């Protein structure tokens, strides 16, 4: 039973009854006030109620046979029902009181040869039901892994090594003939601390180069500060005084004024503005 249609009919009937009853009462009272007898007034009351019932039947018949079919013809064609709507319709059909057919009859005997023919024809004895493609579960797509964010510590360290290696090559070229292997290793550590803007340890062992004059050490310090760009030029002076033994007792102003020499090419270690270019020329 369509309860939605039943409810609409009840609502319409209730509205007609209320309106008809109200109209009948108003007309009856008006006739009594004008001097009509009670019997005539009651008769008019009953006639109005009957007319209301007839009006209800006319309205229902007109809506069912004329108005509603006309509206349905003007509506667009319904779209194909979705799988969920089909399932809902199927469940509504199951609510009917018709008995279900009996499928419990016995299957006829099938011999071994016939059974083989069925299997070759594609019959499946596994008992599994084939699921229609539209109802088959769809695989859930695996989300793509999130891109790995760069490790900024590793990035900065890689950039530092790329910057440090050209000067390390120059350091070995300029200082290896004048210091021992152990001193050369310590000098590389001290230069790396300067490039990282890290103070030297308090207990460092100073280095005493051979066959190098003080201006050569000044120029080495200038080249290092100019290449790494750490602080101001004079900030390399305390580093030179602590790293190289011959400069330990010299005045700060003396070293500062001689970091760069206009006639630098006459020295063993000259001032070099472009370390990578200088080393490329030496390799060629």
239-260 residue pLDDT tens: 999 999 999 999 999 999 999 9
With respect to residue 183, please indicate whether it lies within any of the assigned structural domains: yes
Give the single-character DSSP code of 143.
P
Q: Which two tokens stand for residue 163?
A: 């910057």
With respect to residue 58, please indicate whether it lies within any of the assigned structural domains: yes
Q: What is the pTM of this model?
A: 0.49
Q: Is 65 helix (H, G, I), strand (E, B) or coil?
A: helix
- Provide the pLDDT for residue 19: 81
Give the single-character DSSP code of 66.
I
End-to-end Cα spacing for the chain: 101
One domain, residues 171 and 57: no
With respect to residue 142, please indicate whether it lies within any of the assigned structural domains: no
One domain, residues 161 and 65: no
- Provide the pLDDT for residue 105: 46
Give the single-character DSSP code of 75.
S
Final residue in a domain of this structure, among 70, 91, 109: 70
With respect to residue 138, please indicate whether it lies within any of the assigned structural domains: no
How many domains does the chain divide into? Answer: 2
As a whole number of angstroms, the distance between CA 261 and CA 271 comes to 7
With respect to residue 57, please indicate whether it lies within any of the assigned structural domains: yes
pLDDT above 60: residue 172: yes
With respect to residue 150, please indicate whether it lies within any of the assigned structural domains: no
Final residue in a domain of this structure, among 44, 70, 96: 70
**Least confident among 14-23, 169-178, 205-214:** 14-23
From 195, 213, 211, 217, select the one nearest 271 (Cα to Cα): 217
With respect to residue 228, please indicate whether it lies within any of the assigned structural domains: yes
Provide the 10 A C-beta neighbour count for residue 210. 8
Final residue in a domain of this structure, among 42, 70, 98: 70
- Provide the pLDDT for residue 92: 55
Provide the 10 A C-beta neighbour count for residue 140. 6
pLDDT above 70: residue 83: no
With respect to residue 104, please indicate whether it lies within any of the assigned structural domains: no
As a whole number of angstroms, the distance between CA 148 and CA 127 comes to 48
Q: What is the pLDDT of residues 95-149, one digit of tens each?
A: 555 555 555 444 444 555 555 554 555 455 555 566 566 666 777 777 777 676 7
Average pLDDT over residues 221-246: 95
pLDDT above 50: residue 8: yes
Average pLDDT, the chain: 80
Domain span holding position 30: 3-70
One domain, residues 163 and 276: yes
As a whole number of angstroms, the distance between CA 18 and CA 14 comes to 6
Q: Which two tokens stand for residue 74?
A: 């003007």
Average pLDDT over residues 13-18: 78
Average pLDDT over residues 219-241: 95
């Amino acid at each position: 039973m369509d309860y939605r249609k039943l409810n609409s009919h009840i609502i319409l009937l209730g509205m007609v009854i209320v309106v008809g009853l109200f109209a009948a009462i108003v007309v009856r009272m008006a006739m009594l006030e004008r001097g009509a007898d009670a019997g005539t007034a009651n008769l008019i009351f009953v006639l109005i109620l009957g007319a209301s019932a007839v009006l209800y039947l006319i309205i229902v018949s007109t809506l069912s046979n004329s108005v509603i079919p006309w509206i349905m013809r003007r509506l667009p064609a319904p779209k194909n029902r979705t799988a969920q709507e089909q399932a809902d319709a199927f469940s509504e059909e199951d609510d009917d009181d018709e008995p279900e057919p009996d499928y419990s009859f016995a299957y006829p005997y099938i011999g071994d040869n016939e059974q083989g023919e069925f299997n070759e024809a594609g019959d499946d004895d596994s008992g599994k039901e084939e699921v229609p493609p539209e109802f088959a579960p769809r695989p859930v797509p695996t989300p793509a892994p999130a891109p790995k964010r760069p490790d900024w510590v590793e990035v900065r360290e890689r950039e530092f090594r790329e910057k440090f290696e050209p000067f390390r090559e120059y350091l070995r070229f300029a200082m290896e003939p004048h210091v021992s292997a152990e001193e050369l290793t310590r000098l590389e550590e001290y230069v790396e601390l300067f490039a990282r803007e890290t103070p030297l340890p308090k207990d460092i062992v100073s280095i005493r180069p051979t066959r190098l004059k003080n201006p050569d050490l000044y120029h080495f310090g200038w080249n290092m500060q100019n290449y790494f760009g750490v602080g101001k030029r004079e900030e390399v002076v305390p580093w030179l005084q602590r790293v190289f033994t011959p400069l330990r007792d010299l005045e700060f102003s003396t070293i500062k004024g001689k970091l760069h020499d206009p006639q630098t090419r006459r020295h063993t270690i000259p001032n070099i503005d472009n370390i990578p270019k200088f080393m490329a020329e030496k390799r060629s």
